[in-house]
Structure 1
Amino acid sequence: MNLQTKRINTANACVTATLLTKDMESKLNKIATKISKNIKLDGFRKGKVPLNVIKSRYKENIEQDAQKEAVQEILSEALKELNIEPKEIIGDPIITKFDKKENSIDLEIKISLNPDFKLDNVPECIPEVKLKKITEKEIEIRLEEVAKSKTPLIEAKKDKKLSKGNIANINFEGFIDNKAFEGGKAENFDLLIGSNQFMPGFEDALIGMKTGEEKEINVDFPQDYHSKDLAGKPATFKVKLNKIQVKETPKIDDNLVKSLLPQEKQPTLELLKEKIKEQLELESKTKIYNEELKGKVIENLDKSFKFDLPDLIIEQEMDLLFRNALNTIEEKELEILKSDTKKAQQKRETFREQAEKSVKITFIINALSKQEKISVEDNEVLQTIYYESMMNGQNPKDTIDYYQKNNLLPAMKMAMIEDKILSHLLDKKLNNSNQTPKPEKKAKKTKDKAE
Structure 2
Amino acid sequence: MKISVRNLEPTKVRLTVTVDPEEFDPYLDAARKEIAKQVNIPGFRKGHVPGPIIDQRIGFGAVAGEAVNNGVPELYSKALEEKQIHPMAQPELDVQEVPASAKDETKLKFVATVERRPDLELPELEGMEIAIAKPEVTDEDVNTRLESLRQRFGTLVGVDRPAAKGDFANIDLDAQIDGESVDSQEGVSYELGSGTMLDGMDEALEGLSAGEETTFESELQGGEHEGEKAQIKVKVNSVKAEELPELDDDFAQEASEFDTLDELKEDIRKNAAEAAKGRQATEARDAFIARLQEGLEVPVPKGVKAEMVEQQLKNMTPDPEKATKEQKAEAEETVEKELRDQIVLDTLAEKLDVKVSQADVFNFLASIAQQYGMDPNAFINAIIKNGQLGSAVQEVGRSKGLLAGMRAVKFTADGEVVDLSAFLGEDEAAEDAAENESVEAASAAAAVADELSKTDDAE
Partner of 1:443: none
Say whether the 8 Å CA contact 1:14–1:109 is kept in structure 2: yes
Residues 425 and 99 (structure 1), Cα distance of their counterparts in 2 relative to 1, 3 Å cut: same
What residue number does 1:248 align with?
A: 243
> 2: CA distance between counterparts of 1:73 and 1:213?
73
Unaligned runs of 5+ in 1: 333-351, 387-400, 437-451
Q: For residues 310-366 of structure 1, give each alpha carbon's deviation from its aligned partner in whole angstroms, at most 9, with x where no partner exists.
A: xxxx7xx5333233456769979xxxxxxxxxxxxxxxxxxx998983552241464
Is the 8 Å Cα contact of residues 215 and 239 (structure 1) preserved in structure 2? yes
Contact 2:211 2:237 in 1 (8 A): yes
Q: Distance in 2 between matches of 1:83 and 1:294?
A: 32
Which letter does structure 2 place at the counterpart of 1:321? Answer: K
Q: What is the CA–CA distance in structure 2 between the aligned matches of 1:405 and 1:276, rounded to whole Å?
A: 46
Q: Is the 8 A contact 1:214 1:238 kept in 2?
A: yes
What is the deviation of 1:191? 1.0
- Decide whether aligned partners of structure 1 residues 253 and 15 sit closer, same or farther in structure 2, where only a CA change above 3 A counts: same
Equivalent pair of 2:154/2:245 in contact (CA under 8 Å): yes
Q: Tell me how far apart the structure 1 counterparts of residues 129 and 406 of structure 2 sit (CA, whole Å).
A: 10
Give deviations 1:187-224, integer Å, cap 9, x for gaps.
Answer: 11111122211133212321121122222233345xxx
CA contact (8 A) 1:152 1:248 kept: yes
Match of 1:197 in 2: 196
Q: 1:130 to 1:322 in 2, by over 3 A?
A: same
Look up the match of 1:214.
213
Instruction: Tell me the distance in 2 between the aligned counterparts of 1:59 and 1:226.
Output: 58
CA distance in 2, matches of 1:415, 1:229: 44
The answer to whether 1:149 aligns with 2:155 is: no
The one-letter code of the counterpart of 1:198 is: M
2:97 counterpart (81, 96, 99): 99
Q: Please tell me whether the aligned partners of residues 130 and 412 of structure 2 are also in contact (alpha carbons under 8 angstroms).
A: no
Match among 260, 282, 291 for residue 268 of structure 1: 260
Counterpart among 277, 280, 301 of residue 269 in structure 2:
277
Counterpart pick for 1:429 among 405, 411, 428: 411
Give the distance between the partners of 1:167 and 1:106, measured in 2 at CA.
Answer: 73
Give 1:323's aligned amino acid.
E
CA distance in 1, matches of 2:284, 2:239: 43
Q: CA deviation at 1:261?
A: 2.9
**Corresponding residue for residue 430 of structure 2:** none
For 1:54, the equivalent position in structure 2 comes to 54
- Mean Cα deviation higher: 166-175 or 320-329: 320-329
Flag the 1:217–1:420 CA change in 2: closer, same or farther, 3 A: farther
SS in 1 for 2:189: strand
Distance 1:323 1:152, change over 3 A: closer
Q: Does the C-alpha gap of structure 1 residues 380 and 430 become closer, same or farther in structure 2, counting only changes over 3 Å? A: farther
**What is the SS of the residue equivalent to 2:154?**
coil
Change in CA separation of 1:126 and 1:228 when aligned onto 2, cut-off 3 Å:
farther
Equivalent pairs: percent with the same residue?
A: 17
Number of the residue aligned with 2:437? none
Work out the number of aligned pairs and report it: 372
CA offset at residue 246 of structure 1? 2.1
> Alignment partner of 1:429: what SS?
strand
Is there any run of 5+ residues in structure 2 with no aligned partner, and where? 314-318, 323-334, 374-381, 419-459
TM-score (norm: length of structure 2): 0.57
Q: Return the offset for 1:150.
A: 0.5
CA RMSD of aligned residues (A): 5.9
- 1:63-78 alignment runs, 5 A limit: 63-67=64-68
CA distance in 2, matches of 1:26, 1:172: 72
1:234 matches 2:229: yes
State the alpha-carbon separation in 1 of the partners of residues 386 and 414 from structure 2.
Answer: 44
For the pair shown, the structure with the greater C-alpha radius of gyration is 1
Offset at residue 238 of structure 1 (A): 1.5
Asked if 2 retains the 8 angstrom alpha-carbon contact of 1:321 and 1:355, the reply is no
Asked whether the equivalents of residues 378 and 413 of structure 1 are also in contact (C-alpha less than 8 Å), the reply is no
1:121 aligns with 2:125: yes
- Deviation string for 1:267-305 (max 9, x for gaps)? 532232133334555667778988x88766544422356
2:412 & 2:25 partners in 1: Cα distance? 67
Question: How has the CA–CA distance of structure 1 residues 162 and 287 changed in structure 2, closer, same or farther, with 3 Å as cutoff?
Answer: farther
Q: 2: CA distance between counterparts of 1:196 and 1:416?
A: 41
Corresponding residue for 1:378? Answer: 365
| CA–CA distance in structure 1, aligned partners of residues 109 and 247 of structure 2 | 79
Q: CA deviation at 1:168?
A: 0.9
1:140 to 1:79, Cα distance in 2 relative to 1, 3 A: closer
Whole-Å separation in 2 of the counterparts to 1:104 and 1:434: 69
Letter in 2 for 1:360: I
Give, in angstroms, the shift of residue 119 of structure 1.
6.5
